[in-house]
Amino acid sequence: MNNTILLNDNVRIPQLGFGVFLIDCDGSAYKAVRMALDAGYRHIDTAAAYFNEEEVGRAVRDSGIPREEIFVTSKLWLQDYGYENALKGLDASLSKLGLDYVDLYLLHQPYGDVSGAWKALEEGRRQGKIRSIGVSNMTPGLYRKLTADFETVPSVNQVECNLFCQQKALRSLLKETGTAVEAYQPLGHGSQALLTNGKVLELARKYGKSAAQILLHFLIQEGIIVLVKSVNEDRIRANADIFDFSFTVQEMEELRALDTGHGNHDPEAPGVGEMLLERYKIHD
């Protein structure tokens, strides 16, 4: 499990990452990250709004694995947008993680004072607190609008991406700047429609893999960074067992044809920013 992608800032990121969204900070996140690291994952993705940075950082520190061998991502929450607030938000994340730096730091959502927050991320990178900076949940329209005045091109855009939501227009746009696409919900949040799709099951039988492994490998073969999540050790290990086969050119074309062009989350829907800000309050 050593596939890496070279980002546009010359930072290398492991193509398969382990995410901790909705894993509680009651020992569960710590245990899950330790299991993932033991299984060979070297890319861990958290966020201020996941409320589990403390356990993620402790698991990384307790693992015995040299810090430079583990790629750690966190994300700035909307409450901390704007230049000064974002600098404080970054320091708060580093403090909770118990780390001197993060490998990748993202603007979690495309609302509010994005420009000010981005300038803070650029400053954090200059100070050595961040190795690489990126964005998340940006559609093609939002990406064009919000990054137009960025001094630094984002290295990553983390978005919903799976077999039915392949983000083709976004990927075409990001190819121009060498910005990598990072997929969350690669299994469609456990979508039965994805897991029981006829073509997926046909390929699962052919390659001796599970439907989930087929879905994950498709994104890997497309060159997309993939984030998986589980608290089950067997599933954590199975999700990583996707690098020992390759689809044919025809199979890739057949899988690409299953794209529906839309997913579960529409960042451009009215009121999404306000709703998220109200739902997730990381501090008073």
Predicted pLDDT of residue 284: 86
Out of 30, 41, 50, 111, pick the active-site residue: 50
Positive or negative: CA dihedral 209, 235, 219, 241: negative
Per the CB < 8 A criterion, the answer to whether 42 and 17 are in contact is no
Q: Could you give the domains of the chain? A: 4-279 (3.20.20.100)
193-205 pLDDT, tens per residue? Answer: 999 999 999 999 9
50 is catalytic: yes
**Residue 189: which pLDDT band, with cuts at 50, 70 and 90?**
confident
126-165 pLDDT, tens per residue? Answer: 999 999 999 999 999 999 999 999 999 999 999 999 999 9
**Residue 190: which pLDDT band, with cuts at 50, 70 and 90?**
confident
C-alpha pair distances (Å), 233 with each of 21, 34, 40, 55, 60: 17, 10, 12, 17, 17
40-73 pLDDT, tens per residue? Answer: 999 999 999 999 999 999 999 999 999 999 999 9
Predicted pLDDT of residue 161: 98
| Residue 17: strand pairing partners | 227
Q: Does the structure show a pLDDT above 80 at 1?
A: no
Predicted pLDDT of residue 152: 97
pTM, two decimals, is: 0.97
96-134 pLDDT, tens per residue? Answer: 999 999 999 999 999 999 999 999 999 999 999 999 999
Q: Does the structure show a pLDDT above 70 at 227?
A: yes
* Chain-centroid distance, C-alpha 245: 23
Q: Does the structure show a pLDDT above 90 at 2?
A: no
Bridge pairing between strands 180-184 and 12-14? unpaired
229-276 pLDDT, tens per residue? Answer: 999 999 999 999 999 999 999 999 999 999 999 999 999 999 999 999
Q: Which helix (H) or strand (E) holds 236?
A: helix 233-240
